[in-house]
Each structure stands twice: as structure tokens, then as C-alpha cells.
Amino acid sequence: MMGAEMWVAPSQDDLVGAYKLGMRRMAAAVCLMSQDDAGVRKGMAATAVTSLSVDPPSLLACVNRSASLNPTLQVGALFAVSVLSRWHETLASNFSSSELRHLRFTEGRWRTHALGVCYLEDAQCSFVCRVERRVEHFSHTIVIANVLDVSNSAAIDPLLYVDGTYQGLHLR
């Protein structure tokens, strides 16, 4: 064939480097996943959270196996996903760093849902969820959850994470 180029697979190191660089360009909403585990609040920041289905309402979240929240997100467990607003950057930093773990629930307006799970009251929106399924994939667990309740704020001013920094969305 004329003009056809031969594809040569990149080395694993080159592929991983290019993948990381490409993923830095994918802006994502910053979320906090939170849970009350036997009276102890646990949480983590997450950007790999997305809608899965409307019928029934469900979402998925990708959680690193090394995250303290991962072992408690078993089938049937309740947790919340709070989508952060631009002014929640400090909270996002606290939930992203294990060194700042002691500050995670000291800031922000946290509330306990009737089902017993904590969520950020002034978030863009919060989803109360029940884990339906877990899929293990190398370093991460894909948590598939049914949404039991949703709380939406009136303001739309999400906190985004792109190229290793927090950014706001500038709406027209």
C-alpha cells in the first residue's frame, strides 16, 4: 500500500510518560468522597468520578488501592461524593495530602445525612451513594454505586483540576 506508515509501539516508559502528560490535559471536577466508618469520618479527594446511568441513577469512582477509604468501600457501604466549588481549594488540598489528614473535616460545612453519611453542605452538589459493585484493576478499584439522594446548590462555580493545578471555570 502506498502511503501507509508502519506503526511501532512506543516503549513502556515512553507510553507511560505520554499517558501522564495527556491526562494532565484532561480537566476534571474535584470531588471529595466521604464516609462514616464506625463513627470515624474518612475521606479523599477524587477527580475520577463520573455518571454511569440515569436509570437507576448511578456513578462510578476510581479509587487507588492505597487510599485509606478503599477498604471500607465494600458492597453495601454508604458514602458521599461532594463536588467542590472554586472556593473549596483548601479543602481539596487537605483531602489530597496524607500529611494534612488531620485537617480534612475541620474546615467546610459538613453535615450528616439521615442515612448516616457525611457530606459537604455547601458543595456544588452532593450524592449519597451505596456501593453496588467493585472491580479491581491493577492499582485501582472501580467503585460502582447507586445514588440514593442528591443535594444541588444554586450556584455553579466548580473547582477543576488540570495540569497539576486547581482552576475555576469561567462561565460566559
**Euclidean distance between CA atoms 51 and 134, whole angstroms:** 16
Residue 5: the pLDDT is 86
The one-letter code for the residue type at 153 is: S
The one-letter code for the residue type at 66 is: S
Other Cβ atoms closer than 10 A to 125:
18
Q: Among 3.40.140.10, 1.10.3720.10, 2.30.110.10, 2.40.50.100, name the CATH number for the domain at 29-164.
A: 2.30.110.10
Residue 1: the pLDDT is 54
Residue 169: the pLDDT is 83
**31-66 per-position pLDDT tens digit:** 999 999 888 999 999 999 999 999 999 999 999 999
Q: Which helix (H) or strand (E) holds 36?
A: strand 31-37
Is residue 67 a contact partner of residue 48, using CB atoms and an 8 Å limit? no
Identify the band that residue 3 occupies on the pLDDT scale cut at 50, 70 and 90. Answer: low
Using DSSP's 3-state secondary structure scheme, residue 137 falls into: strand
Domain ranges in the chain are: 29-164
**124-160 per-position pLDDT tens digit:** 999 999 999 999 999 999 999 999 999 999 889 999 9
